[in-house]
Amino acid sequence: MTVILELEHVVKRFGGLVATNDMSFEVAKGESVGLIGPNGAGKTTIFSLIMGEHKADSGSIRLHGEELTKLATHKRIRRGVARTYQVPRPFADMDVLANIEVGLMPDSIMAMIFTAPADEEARAIARSVGLNDADLHRDPAELSMGDLRKLELARTLATKPEVMLLDEVFAGLTAGEIEQISGLLNEKRQEGMTYVIVSHDLRSLEPLIDRAIAMTQGTFVCQGDYATVMSDEAVRMAYLGH
Amino acid sequence: MSTQITWKHLALWALFLGGMALLPMLVGKGTLRTIIFANYLAIFAMSWDVLSGRTGYISFGHPFLIGIGAYTTAILSYRFDVPVGISIPVAVIVTMAAGTLFFLPALRIKGTYFALVTLAFMELMYQLVQVIRPDLTGGTRGISGVQTLTRGAVNGYYLSLALMGVIAISLWAMMKTRLGTALSAIGMNEEAVEGSGLNTTKLKLFAFMVGAGVAGIGGAFYVHYLGSIAPRALFDINFLFTIIVAALIGGASTIIGPMAGAFFLTFLLEYLRPFLPGAERYFIYGSIALILYMYEPKGLYEILRKARERLTGANA
Amino acid sequence: MSQILIQGLLLSGLYALIAIGFTLIFSVGRVLNLAYGAYLMLGGYAYFWVVQTMHMPKLLGILVAIGVGVLAGLLKHRLIVKPLKSDPVAVEIATLILAVVIQAGVVLVFNDSAKIMHPIVNGVWRVGGATVTYNILTATIASWVILIGLYYFVRKTHVGRAISAVSMDVKGAAISGINPDRINMITWGLSGALGAIAGVFFASYTQLSPSMWVAPLIIAVAVVIVGGIGSIIGTLIVAHIIGFMEIISTTLVAAELRGVFTMLLIIVVLVMMPKGLFGRGEL
């Protein structure tokens, strides 16, 4: 088992609030980990810290053993980690295809000017997440929540990540859409994708993950397989208050 | 978004510029001078649009950049007898350097605050120009007798048309590429662009440099067309207003929009002249601009596009 | 030295009065109203018209000025801010355009030459080698009275507390039964009134001209940016920082540089401390 993502003693404060309190965990290559905890537990903050949208106050975040904490967000993406957001915010005035194409762009001004858009590749990614060809030239505003999540996944996949951090992928979806997205994630998992997933929908989350990490108030509680974590005294305390 | 450049596009450009080139045979000198102003205004509006229309970093200090270009070449050529062939390129480079200065706040702040910093830059420049080294800047009165590049309205017109044409086509071609898409994407959701693995700092800096470069070219040639320069005419909210409104009224984030806006504006002001001889024209003009902006913040371009969509029923 | 102290206090009082209406809108509506300077201009011209053209009492002039300011504020809220859904950048652009329209409107009605306004209160007061006009003294006292009144209005009255609640947390206020839209409207009206009064005093301190709105706008912007909080006390403190800075630079450095330091302060504070000296918070 090779470790791909490691957090070590990561601390983040917002003013007086400790959002992340000495968090440490590891994720192995090809593993799927669920990050669970009540509202405000600091799950999304962990994602922001891994992506560099917020800077950790102390501690270490490593991908393939390489320290990420000093890198800008776009560099972390290039190292192979990407995230989705609870509320999808696509590029509103671009059609679906152009949205995906942004993820495929080279990070060089010259290359951006002199290379043609990778429409074919974008189309292939769109198909792989189950977007219809007919939707490719629509504006994001016309899409259903399910298709917006798919677009979000497609945009993220376009950056060719090895680790994907998925934030509330099932929020606002119908049962049918949840099934679709789950199937899709499972498919990518067979191909070797590593996931860290945050979801309130534990029933949909359970079959997708190998292991769960529970946290509350920014602090690590316990980890293990889903059933073990859910029967843990401290987890029940944090979730249910008894 | 990034549709390919086709012969149809090139033919339209050729038609447009060709038509413009015939104008001196059709209209009088007075109208021609008006169009010269419209051409320069179009350059300024396009420059504003590269910087603000695309990336969404609204600049309220654009006259600052134009002024730097104009003053640099005016001072070099008038006070130090530097040939125009050198002073103009130097002015453009200095303006681009100033564009970098402009860029620094954009690293930390955006939205309304960025707009305010740029406004402060402009006001700062207005006051500094009058008091720091008035022997060079000419103080409040500015500099007159700057060398002009052309004689007569017709030549001035062709020079301004050539400049506008070259700038418009270059920017248009550049914005047709993935770079243009990426810059517009920053305006829509900067975090997502960074999250797509693109260095937004680099992209913004590039947009600022290009915007500043164009402002510098426009400012420098404009001062060599007018032959004079004064701080109140340049670093002025009315001038800023004219530039922004030209870009917005036509349609931000396009090339044709700021050009169309500049022409619309110039002619509106010109045709109001007989009825309202003074600055009151700005009342009508500003009201039209305000109503249009309230109705469709993306400008005439978007209104026409929507109308066409409705007429053809197609979802272009 | 006493000269600097007195001049500084007087100017700062006026600046606080100029900035307070702008601050109010910023903390409640979260938008920067760039047409704020135009309230001052409208107030000044309205007073001028009533008192110096129509030869009516000064008090009536002030009342008319306030009425015009309230009307301008309410119209702006109704016709511009609400339709733009308080999008800060769109409001900023639209209010900038509006300011130019109002400027042109003033030229249309009053022509574009500057007008001298008679002092609201005549006479001078000599103190410690300094000469102080009763006019500016009245402006400063009025400014303090208005600021203290506003402070108690926000703390003690029902409407004032609702305004303060909206400035802290719009959603929270809405849940507790406050109609944020109504509060916003009241605030815009109030801001217009404050701007108009400030305009009367500002015009009597300088002069009336169609471009007179720029300078007070810059001062108001500087106060909000440097102070950051948009609070009444913060406004007062920062108005004094800027007022004294201008007086000191005018008397000790060079008169032409008075505005330069204000601009530099705006730029430096925005870039170094985007949240302002005191952070951003509620009213």
If you write DSSP's letter for every residue of chain A in order, what string do you get?
Answer: --EEEEEEEEEEEETTEEEEEEEEEEEETT-EEEEE-STTSSHHHHHHHHHTSS--SEEEEEETTEE-TTS-HHHHHHHTEEE--SS----TTS-HHHHHHHHH--S-HHHHHHS---HHHHHHHHHHTT--GGGTTS-GGGS-HHHHHHHHHHHHHTT--SEEEEESTTTT--HHHHHHHHHHHHHHHHTT-EEEEE-S-HHHHGGG-SEEEEEETTEEEEEESHHHHHH-HHHHHHHH--
**Which tokens hold the place of A154?**
């497609």
Q: At residue B170, does pLDDT exceed 90?
A: yes
For residue B62, give the nearest of B276, B248, B314 by alpha carbon.
B248
What pLDDT is stored for residue A15 in this prediction?
Answer: 74
Where does the pLDDT of residue B203 fall: very low under 50, low under 70, confident under 90, or very high at 90 and above? very high
In this structure, the number of other CB atoms found within 10 A of the CB of residue A15 comes to 7
Q: Looking at residues B176-180, what average pLDDT do you find?
A: 91
Where does the pLDDT of residue C142 fall: very low under 50, low under 70, confident under 90, or very high at 90 and above? confident
Q: At residue B218, does pLDDT exceed 90?
A: yes
For residue A93, give the nearest of B151, C19, C117, B192 by alpha carbon.
B192
Distances (CA, A) of C55 to B234, C60, C65, C66: 39, 10, 15, 18
For residue C270, give the nearest of B203, B112, A106 by alpha carbon.
B112
Q: At residue B39, does pLDDT exceed 90?
A: yes
Residues of A in contact with B315 (CB under 8 A): 137-138
Q: At residue B276, does pLDDT exceed 80?
A: no
Neighbours of chain C (3+ CB pairs under 8 A): B
What is the distance between the alpha carbons of residues A32 and A45, in angstroms, rounded to a whole number? 19
Residue ranges making up the domain that contains B91: 29-234
Q: At residue B3, does pLDDT exceed 60?
A: no
Q: Looking at residues B154-176, what average pLDDT do you find?
A: 92
Residue B45 lies in a domain: yes
Rounded (10°) angle between helices C2-29 and C180-205: 150
Of the listed ranges B96-105, B169-178, B207-216, C160-169, the least confidently predicted one is: C160-169
What is the distance between the alpha carbons of residues C22 and C43, in angstroms, rounded to a whole number? 15
Q: Looking at residues B273-282, what average pLDDT do you find?
A: 70
Angle at C169 between CA C168 and CA C174, to 5 degrees: 130
Which residue in chain C is spatially nearest to B296 when comparing CA positions? C84
What is the distance between the alpha carbons of residues A113 and C150, in angstroms, rounded to a whole number? 57
**Which tokens hold the place of A64?**
């393939």
Q: How many residues does chain C have?
A: 283
**Which tokens hold the place of A148?**
């917006």
| Any C CB within 8 A of B20 CB | no
**Which tokens hold the place of B180?**
């243009």
What pLDDT is stored for residue C281 in this prediction?
Answer: 43
Residue B118 lies in a domain: yes
C225, C69 Cβ separation under 8 angstroms: no
Q: Looking at residues B182-204, what average pLDDT do you find?
A: 91
CB contact under 8 A, A72 and B188: no
CA distance B185 to chain A (A): 6
Nearest CB to B181; choose among A101, A107, A109: A101
Residues of chain A whose pLDDT is less than 70? 240-242
Nearest CB to B124; choose among C80, C108, C264: C264
User: What is the percentage of chain B residues whose pLDDT exceeds 90?
Assistant: 31
| Any A CB within 8 A of B55 CB | no
B73, B147 Cβ separation under 8 angstroms: no
For residue C141, give the nearest of C121, C160, C157, C123 by alpha carbon.
C121
Neighbours of chain A (3+ CB pairs under 8 A): B
- Give me the numbers of helices (H) and strands (E) for chain C, helices first please: 11, 2
What pLDDT is stored for residue B292 in this prediction?
Answer: 86
What is the distance between the alpha carbons of residues C190 and C73, in angstroms, rounded to a whole number? 8
What pLDDT is stored for residue B97 in this prediction?
Answer: 94
Q: At residue B225, does pLDDT exceed 60?
A: yes
Residue B94 lies in a domain: yes
For residue A110, give the nearest of B47, B206, B93, B104 by alpha carbon.
B206
Residues of C in contact with B231 (CB under 8 A): none
Q: Looking at residues C15-37, what average pLDDT do you find?
A: 85
CA distance C134 to chain B (A): 30
- Beta-carbon contacts of C90 under 8 Å, excluding residues fewer than 6 positions away, are B297, C84
Average pLDDT score, chain B? 86
SS3 labels along B140-162? HHCEECCCCCCCHHHHHHHHHHH
**Which tokens hold the place of C242?**
């800027």
CA distance A238 to chain B (A): 32
Q: At residue B18, does pLDDT exceed 90?
A: no
For residue A32, what are the β-bridge partners?
A195
Which DSSP symbol is given to C115? B
pLDDT in tens, A185-226: 898 888 889 999 998 888 888 888 899 998 888 888 888 888
**Which tokens hold the place of B35?**
């169009």
Q: At residue B315, does pLDDT exceed 60?
A: no
| Helix or strand run (H / E) with residue C127 | strand C124-127
Residue B63 lies in a domain: yes
For residue C206, give the nearest of C21, C48, C55, C73 by alpha carbon.
C48
Where does the pLDDT of residue C107 fall: very low under 50, low under 70, confident under 90, or very high at 90 and above? confident
Residue B275 lies in a domain: no
Give contacts of A 187-206 with B, CB under 8 A: none
| Any B CB within 8 A of C269 CB | no
Sign of CA dihedral A216, A221, A225, A228: negative
Nearest CB to B181; choose among A73, A82, A98: A98
What pLDDT is stored for residue B2 in this prediction?
Answer: 44
What is the distance between the alpha carbons of residues B38 and B268, in angstroms, rounded to a whole number? 11
Is pTM, for the whole model, over 0.80? yes
Residue B291 lies in a domain: no
CB contact under 8 A, B177 and A112: yes
Residue spans of beta strands (DSSP E) within B75-211: 143-144
| Any B CB within 8 A of C112 CB | yes
| Any C CB within 8 A of B121 CB | yes
| Any B CB within 8 A of C226 CB | no
Where does the pLDDT of residue C161 fall: very low under 50, low under 70, confident under 90, or very high at 90 and above? confident
Most B-contacting residue of A105, A156, A163 (CB-CB within 10 A), to test interface: A105
What pLDDT is stored for residue B1 in this prediction?
Answer: 41
Phi, psi angle pair for C282, to nearest 5°? -95, 175
Residue B13 lies in a domain: no
Pick the more confident residue, C164 or C217: C217
Reduce the DSSP state of residue B309 to 3 states and report it: helix
CA distance B177 to chain A (A): 5
pLDDT in tens, C185-239: 888 999 999 999 999 988 888 888 888 888 888 888 888 878 765 677 888 888 8
| Any C CB within 8 A of B279 CB | yes
CB contact under 8 A, B200 and A114: no
Residues of B in contact with C263 (CB under 8 A): 120-121, 123-124, 127
In this structure, the number of other CB atoms found within 10 A of the CB of residue C233 comes to 12
| Any C CB within 8 A of B280 CB | yes
Number of domains composing chain B: 1
Q: At residue C95, does pLDDT exceed 70?
A: yes
State the count of interchain CB pairs (< 8 A) between B and C: 120
**Which tokens hold the place of B7?**
């012969």
The distance of Cα A123 from the centroid of its chain, to the nearest Å, equals 22
B203, B186 Cβ separation under 8 angstroms: yes
| Any C CB within 8 A of B103 CB | no
Reduce the DSSP state of residue C184 to 3 states and report it: helix
Residues of C in contact with B248 (CB under 8 A): 93
Query: Strand C130-133 to strand C124-127: parallel, antiparallel, or no bridges (unpaired)?
Result: antiparallel
pLDDT in tens, B283-302: 887 888 888 888 888 888 88
Q: At residue B109, does pLDDT exceed 90?
A: no
Q: Write down the residue that tokens 């700038």 correspond to.
A: B167
CA distance B18 to chain C (A): 34
Distances (CA, A) of C150 to C15, C24, C43, C61: 16, 10, 19, 22
Where does the pLDDT of residue C283 fall: very low under 50, low under 70, confident under 90, or very high at 90 and above? very low
Where does the pLDDT of residue B186 fall: very low under 50, low under 70, confident under 90, or very high at 90 and above? very high
C282, C232 Cβ separation under 8 angstroms: no
**Which tokens hold the place of C264?**
């530099």
What is the distance between the alpha carbons of residues A153 and C82, in angstroms, rounded to a whole number? 35
What is the distance between the alpha carbons of residues C219 and C265, in angstroms, rounded to a whole number? 11
Residue B305 lies in a domain: no
What is the distance between the alpha carbons of residues C120 and C65, in angstroms, rounded to a whole number? 13
Residues of B in contact with A105 (CB under 8 A): 178, 181-182, 196-198
Angle at B176 between CA B173 and CA B177, to 5 degrees: 100
- Beta-carbon contacts of A129 under 8 Å, excluding residues fewer than 6 positions away, are A150, A151, A153, A154, A157, A184
Phi, psi angle pair for C105, to nearest 5°? -65, -40
Phi, psi angle pair for A70, to nearest 5°? -90, -5
Q: Looking at residues C98-102, what average pLDDT do you find?
A: 89
What is the distance between the alpha carbons of residues A109 and A102, in angstroms, rounded to a whole number? 13
CB contact under 8 A, C104 and B283: yes
In this structure, the number of other CB atoms found within 10 A of the CB of residue C106 comes to 25
CB contact under 8 A, C267 and B124: yes
Residues of B in contact with C83 (CB under 8 A): 294
What is the distance between the alpha carbons of residues C196 and C65, in angstroms, rounded to a whole number? 6
A7, A68 Cβ separation under 8 angstroms: no
What pLDDT is stored for residue A134 in this prediction?
Answer: 85
**Which tokens hold the place of A205?**
């989350």
CB contact under 8 A, B112 and C31: yes
What is the distance between the alpha carbons of residues B254 and B251, in angstroms, rounded to a whole number? 6
CA gyration radius, chain A? 18
ipTM attached to this prediction: 0.88
| Any B CB within 8 A of A171 CB | no
